[in-house]
Amino acid sequence: MFFSLAQHPNLTQVQHRALSQVSNTDLSNLKAELMGQLRRPNPDALAYGSAFHAATLEPRTYARTTDRCPWAQLEALARQVRRHRYCRDLLYRGTAELTHTAIHVDTGVAVKVRPDLLVISPAGRTRTLIDFKTTSCPDLPHFLASAEQYDYDRQAALYLDALQATRFLIIGVQKRNPHQIWVFDATAAPGFIEQGRRKYSTLLRRYATRQASPLPLVQQYALAA
């Protein structure tokens, strides 16, 4: 489904975002446009997520910024994740935030992905991707129900296919008491990856059409409907 897979070591988040390839976030923005929605991500939520990931994945270089965040809370959550037996093993064995690019076979659209962690088995036969999600959900069933709403299935399928990986784990970290940690194997959930694959394939086709057509996106959507 993808070819020309390439790694781009040592890129910062800023450098990753500056790459011209299409990201999962770009697909979310395109989806919002197609549906006539105004997508305005909460800057405080984005800052929280970035800080939590930095504190969890790169504690040696982590530092507080001028963003408005409950620093003590997110740092405590990051410590809890790092102390969690299973997560601790993944963090020890995995490579954090390594940018990859690839080209979608059917549309020719170049994509970029940056998994939180990539864990490759000693024999190289298994490539596991891990994504950490902070959540306000009260329990695991609510967290799993939110997966479709936030298009976690699309992200999982896109990352799996682009990186030619074997498994995709979503680790939910509860922001409120009792601060539970849930491990969800997206590749083991019936239909989850298949649904996500349909989502990203549709959006990549829309993106390719938009790039090739001089018509405004709204007119393209009307003609395709």
CATH number assigned to the domain comprising residue 216: 3.90.320.10
The answer to whether the pTM exceeds 0.75 is yes
- Domain count across the chain: 1
C-alpha to C-alpha distance for 7 and 18, rounded to whole angstroms:
16
Indicate whether 221 pLDDT > 50. no
Indicate whether 39 pLDDT > 50. yes
Domain housing 179: 2-224
pLDDT band at 214 (very low <50, low <70, confident <90, very high): low
pLDDT > 90 in the chain, percent: 87
pLDDT band at 40 (very low <50, low <70, confident <90, very high): confident
State pLDDT tens for residues 107-133. 999 999 999 999 999 998 999 999 999
Whether cis (ω within 30° of 0) applies to the bond prior to 9 is no
Mean residue pLDDT of the chain comes to: 93
Give how far the C-alpha of residue 3 lies from the chain's centroid of Cα atoms, to the nearest Å: 20
C-alpha to C-alpha distance for 99 and 119, rounded to whole angstroms:
14
